[in-house]
Amino acid sequence: MLCKICKSKGKRTKAVIYLRHHRLALCKEHFVEWFEKQVQKTVKQFKMFSRKEKVAVAVSGGKDSLSLWLALHRLGYETYGIHISLGIEGWNYSEKSLEVCRKFSERIGRPLIVFNLKEEFGYTIEEIAKGAGRRDVCSVCGTFKRYLMNRIAKEHGFKVLATGHNLDDESALLLSNTMRWEIGYLGRQYPVLPEEGGFVRKVKPFCFLTEKETVSYAILNRIEYMETGCPNAKEATSRVYKQALALLEHKMPGTKLRFYKEFLKRARPIFEKELKEQLELNECEVCGMPTTAPVCSVCRTLERLKNAEGGEN
């Protein structure tokens, strides 16, 4: 297959990728150009951030978040990486992830802000989950990551935080919320969540790009990323929704993108109207982050752990 753009300029270049749902075959150069243009378009369409704003990019060391950092950097935004090091020992997962993020930050010459859980809180995420009597490390981890991303971004003076969620993630989440008619989640699922009530603005500039596209961008740009996921990740239900969507996509190319885009345009405004009054948020007495209780759930978990330890001695 030949690159469509090269062909239109009278040049015959072999395509490296065929984007079935866009009916577009592209060479390396034109795919990278197309990809970055898509990101810029999404940033503009949802007014995610301006060129004057510093952008914090949450990087896990995976293909999506590192590709996002590179794309935003190349598009001329002032970017900073934020990495949360969770202390996961299996497969040397956390150590390797940090190394990958450090190397990448050096490559593009941009700073990386690292938050080390064990150093800052005295416990790894597994110790925290165990202490809280929770077997599903991942859900505790999710709560801590969301909390920390917001806190670190705020403490460093960022107004906006970008994550690497792609179209596969967003459409799977949409399908799962739809199957359960989670009106509240459906009303809130959006590529931009505004800065409010102690939360920084959260944006997902890859929401219209598929995983195949982000992985291709990473490989074509020789990004060294973590190929294995977290060792604690169980067979997540989101995987099943991704498989279901992959089948639909295979039979009807463009389904995923249409499903998500039409939701944003036509369905979400209806659910948004159903959203009840936001719960009153106040500042956590311990850390100052937004919470509905006097002390936030992260501080409560940490306090309980410390008390339990004190009791043992």
Interface residues with ligand FES (CB under 6 A) are 86, 125, 137-138, 141, 230, 232-233
- Listed residue (247, 80, 245) closest to 166, CA to CA: 245
The listed partner (ligand AMP, ligand FES, Zn ion, none) that binds 16, CB under 5 to 8 Å by sort, is none
**Which amino acid is residue 35, in one-letter code?**
F
Interaction of residue 6 with Zn ion, rule CB under 5 A: yes
- 52 pairs with which residues across the strands? none
Q: Residues 262 to 301: which contact ligand AMP by CB under 6 A? A: none
Interaction of residue 249 with ligand AMP, rule CB under 6 A: no
Sign of CA dihedral 88, 70, 111, 160: negative
Q: HEC string of 246-310?
A: HHHHHHCCCHHHHHHHHHHHHHHHHHHHHCCCCCCCEECCCCCCEECCCCCHHHHHHHHHHHHHH
Stretch that binds ligand AMP, among 7-15, 59-67, 193-201, 279-287 (CB under 6 A): 59-67
Cβ-based neighbour number of residue 26 at 10 Å = 25
| C-alpha Rg value of the chain to the nearest Å | 21
The residue among 82 and 137 lying less far from ligand AMP, judged by its C-beta, is: 82
Q: Residues 152 to 181: which contact ligand AMP by CB under 6 A? A: 163-165
The listed partner (Zn ion, ligand FES, ligand AMP, none) that binds 138, CB under 5 to 8 Å by sort, is ligand FES
Report in angstroms how near the CB of residue 123 gets to Zn ion at its nearest: 15
Report in angstroms how near the CB of residue 299 gets to Zn ion at its nearest: 3
Q: How far is CA 87 from CA 93, 163, 251, in A?
A: 8, 21, 42
From candidates 58, 186, 299, 305, binder to Zn ion by CB under 5 A: 299
Strands 78-85 and 290-291: what pairing?
A: unpaired
Stretch that binds ligand AMP, among 26-34, 58-66, 247-255, 297-305 (CB under 6 A): 58-66
Interaction of residue 59 with ligand AMP, rule CB under 6 A: yes
Element (H, E) at 41: helix 28-45
Report in angstroms how near the CB of residue 213 gets to ligand AMP at its nearest: 14
Interaction of residue 25 with ligand AMP, rule CB under 6 A: no
**Which amino acid is residue 243, in one-letter code?**
Q
- Listed residue (239, 242, 225, 232) closest to 144, CA to CA: 232
Interaction of residue 3 with Zn ion, rule CB under 5 A: yes
Interaction of residue 83 with ligand AMP, rule CB under 6 A: yes
DSSP letters along 174-234, please?
Answer: HHHHHHTT-HHHHHH--SEE--BTTBPEEE-TTTTS-HHHHHHHHHHTT-----S--TT--
Q: Residues 23 to 82: which contact Zn ion by CB under 5 A? A: 27, 30
Binding stretches for ligand AMP (CB under 6 A): 58-60, 64-65, 82-84, 86, 145, 163-165
Binding stretches for Zn ion (CB under 5 A): 3, 5-6, 13, 27, 30, 284, 286-287, 296, 299
